[in-house]
């Protein structure tokens, strides 16, 4: 059994109410229904006029494995208040994940790529969770996509921690996997995978696990999960969000004492044997009433942050005697997970009373 594990590569709230998970699932199902209705046209595009031009180039051209392989893909959200205590969204809306939208493809197609500009479809998905434009872009890719089976989606997760899963099919000429999942709420942040190759020469990988980290689509300039809509003009490229970048204390992922952020999500792809096709993943264990996943995560310490000192107050005391004056400050961010406690919020010093006769 071959096994691969990497730690990335794959990896603001709006004023209007968020789309609920059931509504998002319904919308995605409608999109997939429309897309499936084009199956005959897609088949003609791929198998007749586009066959020669659709031959892949690059690393996936050396795949000599059997033509088709099917995988179960399991997405696990690890966005907990313990791991990410700063500005963790508890309501309006609480931390959650959008539905997953992905494709299997050849090397001449790219859904998104780090340090390159996001397409209009990726922008709409990262900012609002709307998939229609991105689906149209996939459709326009024509023969670059394996077939209608090369598109997959998985249900949204209504909390920051939980699981969702689906199945995908890869082809020896289209062995790459890409997907996006929006971080909700956020300005334009998402996690995903860009062009992960599931083929190793003459065989398909049995299992692949990838830790996912947050990305900024470069289309909205908000710093926090609940930032209002503020378009980035001109648009910037897709960048990975780290514990020190963007280097601004207001950033929701800014943890200057960390060397690296803990993974905010995780994805596992398991090759299905022929007798498993269509059957649920045996070890995927979702609770009956909730998607919550009990997972041991390291606590991310969050230090207290306080404001600057106010001006000194009036000097109080009797004339010809030493008086006192006070200045104050207030808590900007309360500590969490054994972070540095808050210092004193007021300070007193001696002074000479004024206006004495």
pLDDT in tens, 300-349: 777 778 888 899 988 888 887 888 999 999 887 777 777 778 888 899 99
- The secondary structure of 223-266, three-state, reads CCCCCCCCECCCCCECEECCCCCCCCCCCCCCCCCCCCCCCCEE
Which of 57-66, 100-109, 182-191, 240-249 has the lowest average pLDDT? Answer: 57-66
Residue 11, classed as helix, strand or coil, is coil
pLDDT at 67 over 70: yes
Q: Is the pLDDT of residue 357 over 60?
A: no
Measured CA to CA, the distance from residue 333 to residue 173 in angstroms comes to 52
Tens of pLDDT, residues 130-163? 999 999 998 888 655 544 458 999 999 999 999 9
CB contact at 8 A, 215 and 236 = no
The answer, yes or no, to whether residue 279 has pLDDT greater than 80, is: no
Q: What is the pTM of this model?
A: 0.70
The whole-angstrom separation of Cα 222 and Cα 29 is 30
- Nearest CA to 123 among 224, 243, 26, 216? 216
Residue 291: pLDDT above 90? no
Measured in degrees and rounded to the nearest 5, phi and psi for residue 301 equal: -65, 140
At 100-110, the pLDDT tens digits run: 999 998 888 89
Two tokens at 265? 């999500």
Closest CA to 129 of 105, 97, 107, 174: 97
User: Per-residue pLDDT tens for 158-212?
Assistant: 999 999 999 999 988 889 999 999 999 999 999 999 999 999 999 999 999 999 9
73: β partners:
166, 269
Note whether 348 and 325 are within 8 A (CB).
yes
CA distances from 155 to 72, 230, 246, 357 (A): 14, 28, 30, 78
CA separation for the pair 148, 46 (Å, rounded): 10
Q: Does residue 42 register a pLDDT over 70?
A: no
């Amino acid at each position: 059994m071959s096994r691969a594990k990497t730690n990335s590569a794959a990896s603001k709230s709006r004023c209007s109410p968020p789309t609920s998970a059931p509504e998002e699932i319904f919308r995605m199902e409608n999109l997939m229904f429309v897309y499936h209705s084009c199956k005959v046209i897609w088949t003609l595009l791929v198998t007749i006029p586009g066959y020669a031009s659709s031959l892949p180039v690059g690393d996936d051209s050396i795949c000599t494995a059997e033509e088709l392989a099917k995988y179960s893909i399991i997405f696990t959200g690890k966005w907990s208040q313990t791991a990410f205590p700063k500005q963790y969204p508890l309501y309006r809306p609480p931390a959650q994940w959008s539905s997953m939208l992905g494709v299997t493809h050849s090397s001449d197609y790219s859904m998104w790529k780090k340090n390159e500009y996001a397409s209009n479809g990726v922008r709409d998905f990262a900012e609002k969770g709307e998939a229609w434009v991105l689906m149209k872009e996939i459709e326009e890719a024509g023969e670059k996509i394996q077939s209608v089976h090369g598109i997959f989606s998985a249900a949204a997760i209504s909390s920051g921690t939980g699981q969702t899963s689906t199945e995908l099919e890869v082809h020896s000429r289209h062995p790459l996997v890409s997907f996006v999942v929006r971080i909700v709420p956020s300005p334009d942040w998402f996690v995903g995978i860009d062009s992960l190759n599931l083929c190793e020469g003459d065989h398909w990988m049995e299992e692949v696990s990838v830790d996912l980290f947050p990305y900024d689509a470069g289309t909205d300039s908000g710093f926090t999960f609940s930032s209002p809509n503020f378009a980035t003009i001109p648009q910037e490229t897709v960048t990975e969000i780290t514990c020190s970048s963007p280097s601004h204390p207001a950033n929701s992922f800014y943890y200057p004492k960390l060397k690296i952020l803990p993974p905010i999500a995780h994805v596992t792809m398991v090759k299905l044997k022929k007798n498993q096709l269509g059957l649920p993943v045996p070890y995927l264990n979702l609770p009956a009433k909730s998607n919550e996943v009990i997972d041991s995560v390291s606590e991310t310490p969050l230090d207290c942050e306080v404001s600057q000192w106010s001006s000194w107050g009036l000097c109080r005391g009797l004339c010809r005697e030493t008086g006192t004056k006070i200045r104050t400050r207030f808590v900007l961010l309360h500590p969490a997970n054994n972070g540095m406690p808050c210092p004193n919020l007021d300070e007193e010093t001696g002074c000479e009373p004024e206006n004495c006769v």
